[in-house]
Amino acid sequence: MSRLPQWVGGLGAGLTRLAEKLDERKAAVAEPSPAPAPAADPAAAPEPAVATPEPAAGPTAGPAAEQAADHVPPPPSYAPAVPSRPDPVAAVPWGVRVAAEASWRLLLLAGTLWVLMQVISAVQLVVLAFVVGLLITALLQPTVAWLKAHGVPRGLATAMTFISGFIVMGLVGWFVVWQVTDHLDDLTTQVQHGIKELKRWLLNSPFHVTQTQINNIADNLSQAIGTNTKDITSAGIEGVQVVIEVLTGILLAMFSTLFLLYDGRRIWEWLLKLVPSAAREGVAGAGPRAWATLTAYVRGTVIVALIDAIFIGMGLFFLDVPMAVPLAVFIFLFAFIPLVGALASGALAVIVALVTKDVFTAAMVLAVVLAVMQIESHVLQPFILGRAVRVHPLAVILSVACGSMIAGIGGAVVAVPLVAVINSVVGYLREYAKASAEPAAPEPGAGRVPGPR
């Protein structure tokens, strides 16, 4: 029993030394190693202190404590740190990432547009007939609304407007055909006489055109006509097919107009149900804006085309140009193709005047056409069409060119109103998105604390 206090004392001393060593190792791991001190004079450096081991308190306490201290496991922080690799997204420049994000979205839109164009090309006749019916509906819808406002039932107002509108268009077409066939013989004689006068003018002109050159041109034309007889015959057969397609398109356009006049609102409400609910409110607001733009465009274009036809037709009549009335009707119809239609109809009037009359008359017709076109572009369109349907001339030319390449004359007619409607819808949706993103303004007095004044 005399050695028990010594053994307990030795065990306590060993545990104390073990705790001190653990504290020293933790401090060495937590604190960074100090920078090496500058070398000093070895003579002035103090001698290192030699640690004297403490005497063991007991015979068995010292070695057990030393053995336990030598086998202490290192802390987890001694594991070597693995260097982290940089994020590959951060290695790509910001501009390249933006370009990539925009590129795949543009590719997706281009693919969708390509598929849509393929579908439209497959059913081109149906699409053109429906679009023409939509344009005619935009022209006749105000008449139906006016009749309904004066107490006429919807069905009767639709029938009256539909029948009267197509009767007027049929009479105009019949009048043009009657005028052309009635003056065809006189026109042939005048064309032959005009060609002779043109030859005489070329021979006496400062261009120094000889009779041999004129004869060579005539022979080349005759040879080209003779060698392409098969092509002309096949073109005539294709012309019959074109006539059948035109009649089919007219019938489809008539039925589309009838049902759009009668059930246009219900058809629009049914289409809104196909739109996702998140975007339905914006589309519902853009629809009336698009319809107002289309109606304004069609009515304004009809008024501008009518004014052009009247003034140019009066000029042709006073200059005694043959078929002045049919040419005026052609000018009215071609005016629905902005810029290009006016140029084509004006060139046709100048050619007829040149062939049937003389160079002076053709120059006067050209002056009349240019004057009317200037009045149209600077006075009529800004005041009649207004800013709501104004499209940049470059957009007009590009849209007409694309429409004519895709669907011919029909595509050229519907291209500009389509661009005008898209422009109006995009502007409305931009304003709608901006208004939806802005926080609602607080009501007056909403932040005041109620209480007696």
Q: What's the confidence (pLDDT) of residue 55?
A: 47
430, amino acid identity:
R
Rounded mean pLDDT for each run of 10 residues along the chain, 453 residues in total: 56 68 67 50 46 47 50 52 66 84 91 87 85 87 88 88 87 77 67 67 67 67 54 53 80 89 88 84 86 85 85 87 81 79 82 80 88 79 66 79 79 83 86 75 50 42
- φ/ψ of 67, rounded to 5, equals -65, -40
CB-CB contact of 8 with 52 (8 Å): no
SS (H, E, C) 68-104: HHHCCCCCHHHCCCCCCCCCHHHHCCHHHHHHHHHHH
Q: What's the confidence (pLDDT) of residue 374?
A: 82
Helix axes 124-149, 94-122, angle to 10 degrees: 80
Reduced to 3 DSSP states, what percent helix, strand and coil does the chain have, rounded to the nearest 5? 80, 0, 20
In angstroms, what is the C-alpha Rg of the chain? Answer: 46
Structure tokens at 65: 């404590």
Question: What is the rounded CA–CA span in Å between residue 25 and residue 20?
Answer: 9
Instruction: Residue 61: count other Cβ atoms within 10 Å of its Cβ.
Output: 20
Helix axes 229-273, 211-227, angle to 10 degrees: 70
In order of 41, 185, 318, 349, 352, the CA distances from 361 in angstroms are: 119, 21, 11, 11, 10
- φ/ψ of 149, rounded to 5, equals -65, -25
Structure tokens at 71: 């086998």
Residue given tokens 């015979």 in the structure block: 59
Q: What's the confidence (pLDDT) of residue 84?
A: 66
CB-CB contact of 385 with 300 (8 Å): yes
User: How many residues can be counted in the chain?
Assistant: 453
